[in-house]
Amino acid sequence: MPLRRPLIVIGVGGHGRVLMDIVRVRPDFRLAAVVDDRFTEPELRGGLLYGPISTVPSLLLDEPDAELVIGIGDNRIRRQIAERLGLADEQYAALVHPGAYVSSDAQLGAGAVVMPGAVIGPGAVVGAHAIVNSGAVVEHDAVVGDFAHVSPNATLAGGAVVEEGAHVGSGAVLIPGVRLGRWSVLGAGGTAIRDLPDGITAVGVPAVALAR
Ligand SMILES: CC(C)(COP(=O)(O)OP(=O)(O)OC[C@H]1O[C@@H](n2cnc3c(N)ncnc32)[C@H](O)[C@@H]1OP(=O)(O)O)[C@@H](O)C(=O)NCCC(=O)NCCS
């Protein structure tokens, strides 16, 4: 049996636990450690090492081949942690649940995660540290930017673009070719029928920006 790839999960909150769950059903990965600033000191629990995020460099000295994945659901905090660690992209694993479909012609960035039941079509690009959540569809040639999150059951039709850090709420839809701007939010159940600018929150069908 080939060696299992050691993986360090960052985050023990809801999203981090989902990622640990994926590691358990991926026979090619082995959970090497879990880090989160809720821990002040390294400690062993059930044979697994838990510790603060500041222990990552020493964990990598012990196990240089270990890869990481950031299991923090908040897009901005995920970016902050990636910036704080300053590691090369190659140090992050893309983590795909075996129950997802990812076209062989799609690209997944460093640290991207794809949840059960998600579908990623040919020519699609999922950026670094992006999340494609359970049952979401990223159709052919659609783009999910770095640190973006496509929530459960959301649909990006062909060629739709979710820019860096943007969040597509549960069950929301972007029709073909439409763009959701950087760090914007499309609320749950909303449908974007035209491009939405950076830094806004839009809701409804068709989605319009909330006045704030
Ligand atoms: C869009 C969203 C981010 C807005 O959150 P918020 O900034 O806290 O906004 P509020 O709850 O104050 O709502 C502001 C207004 O938008 C409306 N609204 C909020 N979310 C809406 C939605 N999804 N669809 C339609 N209207 C919505 C509210 O009714 C409110 O309207 P009002 O001012 O007329 O009363 C949030 O409601 C949402 O849909 N988040 C997606 C969550 C999700 O899918 N997470 C997945 C995790 S895996």
Taking only the tens place, the pLDDT of each residue in 15-41 is 999 999 999 999 999 999 999 999 999
Cα 94 to the center of its chain, rounded Å: 9
Give start-end residues of each CATH 2.160.10.10 domain in the chain. 94-212
Outline where the chain has alpha helix (H): 14-24, 56-62, 75-85
Taking only the tens place, the pLDDT of each residue in 173-189 is 999 999 999 999 999 99
Known active-site residue 140: yes
Taking only the tens place, the pLDDT of each residue in 51-62 is 999 999 999 999
Which of 167, 203, 208 is the best mutation target for the ligand 1 pocket, counting ligand atoms within 8 Å of the beta carbon and taking the most? 203
Instruction: Decide if domain 5-91 falls under CATH 3.40.190.290.
Output: no
Pick the closest to residue 138 from 111, 173, 104 (CA basis). Answer: 173
CATH topology of domain 94-212: UDP N-Acetylglucosamine Acyltransferase; domain 1 (2.160.10)
Cα 4 to the center of its chain, rounded Å: 22
Give start-end residues of each CATH 3.40.50.20 domain in the chain. 5-91
Token pair in block for residue 128 = 């670094």
Residue 3: per-residue pLDDT? 86
Task: Give the CA radius of gyration of the chain.
Answer: 17
Residue 12: per-residue pLDDT? 97
Average pLDDT per run of 10 along the chain, which is 212 residues long?
88 97 96 97 94 97 96 98 97 98 98 98 98 98 98 98 98 98 98 98 98 88
